[in-house]
Amino acid sequence: MERMLTYVQAIGEAMSQEMSRDPSVVSFGEDNIGGMGCDGKLGNAWGPTQGLHEKFPDRIFDTPITEAAFVGAAVGAAASGLRPVVDLLFADFMGVAFDQLINQAAKLRYMFGGQGTAPLVVRTFYGAGMRGGAQHSQSLYSLVTHVPGLKVVVPSNPYDAKGLMTQAIRDEDPVIYFEHKMLYWTPGEVPEEPYTVPFGQSRLVRSGTDCTVVALGRMVGFAETAAEELAAGGVSIEIIDPRTISPLDEDSIYRSVEKTGRLVVVDESPPRCSVARDIVALVAENRFEALRGPARTVNTPHTPVPYSPALEDRYIPGPDSIVRAVLEAVEAGGWNGRRQDRLAGTQSPVA
């Protein structure tokens, strides 16, 4: 059995290894090490940068609460020889730095005719489930995927988290690296030696024959749970984790849909203009004939994230909603007479 690390440790290991390998890698953000200017010892509680300050005292530091300034500074530093890994904390705080992300970082290479690049990584944690309320729970990856020039990474497990972070640091473009806060303490097998997971290459999580399920981040695990339940009812799903949504591995999705004839896309952001809708649109434009029926999307409701557990738990798409969407897709896609036995045992509202 391989060595186990949690998701957050895997990210930290990638940062540490890349900082050892490449002296141009620097890291900063609010409480990035936690405790600059304090009398007591450093206090960074839960980030992957814990312990890094001892190893790299001159290349990792805290910032004042100045998102626009330090993200912008990362753009300038990247354009002039450093590789900054910036900690934006909650993805929601991206709003404060949005100009620097979408107008500066994203445009630098293109607008100046390829004279330079901005090899920076913006780490940020996202997602509902921690009772964080409307301003600390959003899944804003759909928003930035819309912007050309930004690479967008959404790791779903510790192995990918390390490999994608290593790639992100070595990558020549600005990368926004979305860490799901509810996955931080999830363990998984992670090799000790450095490795990269290339961008634009999805992972086949599970093969199946009846329906393709594309899922992102925390939703991948939920899709796996749904797959077990569906399998018990005789429905076999194929799960694809795109791992990066910009660039997106379209070909793997098309190949899978050609095989299964059905598509469900699961994404923890509100539905309008979401990654889920985007992938459905891509398939509709490029492989319409492969679909045996309407595709389905599973998103959050089109609302901000509520605080009360009674509401937040309903807000987050779970395995149940994936099961339901798959059964709807499969039902609409026709069962060739085999439907009865396949649905036996599943609790579908449409069966």
Partner 1 sequence: MLRTIRAFEERVHVEYAEGNIPGATHLYAGQEAIAAGCCAELRPDDYISSTHRGHGHAIAKGADLTRMMMELFGREGGVCRGKGGSMHIADFSVGMLGANGIAGGGVPIGCGVGLSAKVRGTDQVGVAFVGDGGANQGAFLESLSLASVWQLPVVFVVEDNGYAQATASKYHLRGLDVARRGEAFGIPGAVVDGCDFFAVRDAAVEAVRRARSGGGPSIIDCKTARFFGHMEGFDQQAYRGSGEAEKLRAERDCIQRFTASVTGAGLVSPEEFDAIDREVADEIARAAEAAKAAADPDPAELLTDVYVSY
Ligand X SMILES: Cc1ncc(C[n+]2csc(CCOP(=O)(O)OP(=O)(O)O)c2C)c(N)n1
Using CB under 6 A, list all residues that contact ligand X.
Answer: 30, 65, 67, 89, 93, 96
Phi/psi of residue 160, nearest 5 degrees: -65, -35
Looking at the Cβ atoms of 96 and 332, the one nearer to partner 1 is: 96
Looking at the Cβ atoms of 44 and 212, the one nearer to partner 1 is: 44
Q: Are 83 and 22 in contact (CB under 8 A)?
A: yes
Q: Are 67 and 101 in contact (CB under 8 A)?
A: no
Least distance to partner 1 from the beta carbon of 131, Å?
Answer: 3
Torsion of Cα atoms, 86 then 88 then 94 then 99, to 10° = -30
Least distance to ligand X from the beta carbon of 92, Å?
Answer: 8
* Catalytic position from the list 136, 146, 180, 302: 136
**Residue 148 interaction partner, one of partner 1, ligand X, none, beta carbon < 5-8 Å per kind:** none
- For residue 73, CA distances in Å to 28, 61, 85, 100, 148 come to 10, 14, 11, 9, 20
Least distance to partner 1 from the beta carbon of 30, Å?
Answer: 7
**Residue 41 interaction partner, one of ligand X, partner 1, none, beta carbon < 5-8 Å per kind:** partner 1
Across 98-119, b (16+ Cβ under 10 Å) vs e yields bebbbebbbbbbeeeeeeeebb
Where on the chain is the footprint of partner 1 (CB under 8 A)?
Answer: 30-31, 34-46, 62-69, 92-93, 95-96, 130-136, 301-304, 306-311, 314-315
The beta-strand segments (E) located in 164-295 are 175-180, 187-189, 203-206, 211-215, 237-241, 244-246, 263-266
**Residue 314 interaction partner, one of ligand X, partner 1, none, beta carbon < 5-8 Å per kind:** partner 1
Half-sphere exposure of 335 (CA within 13 A, CB side): 17
Looking at the Cβ atoms of 67 and 224, the one nearer to ligand X is: 67
Looking at the Cβ atoms of 89 and 235, the one nearer to ligand X is: 89
Structure tokens at 320: 């149940």
Looking at the Cβ atoms of 1 and 310, the one nearer to partner 1 is: 310
Looking at the Cβ atoms of 93 and 141, the one nearer to ligand X is: 93
CA distance 289 to 112: 41
Is 136 known to be catalytic? yes
**Residue 302 interaction partner, one of ligand X, partner 1, none, beta carbon < 5-8 Å per kind:** partner 1
> Which residues sit opposite 298 in a β-bridge?
266
**Residue 64 interaction partner, one of partner 1, ligand X, none, beta carbon < 5-8 Å per kind:** partner 1
CA distance 197 to 281: 26
Least distance to ligand X from the beta carbon of 101, Å?
Answer: 14
**Residue 38 interaction partner, one of partner 1, ligand X, none, beta carbon < 5-8 Å per kind:** partner 1
The DSSP-derived string for 5-19 is EEHHHHHHHHHHHHH
Phi/psi of residue 256, nearest 5 degrees: -65, -45
Least distance to ligand X from the beta carbon of 72, Å?
Answer: 14
Q: Which residue is nearest to ligand X (CB)?
A: 93
Catalytic residue numbers, as ranges: 136
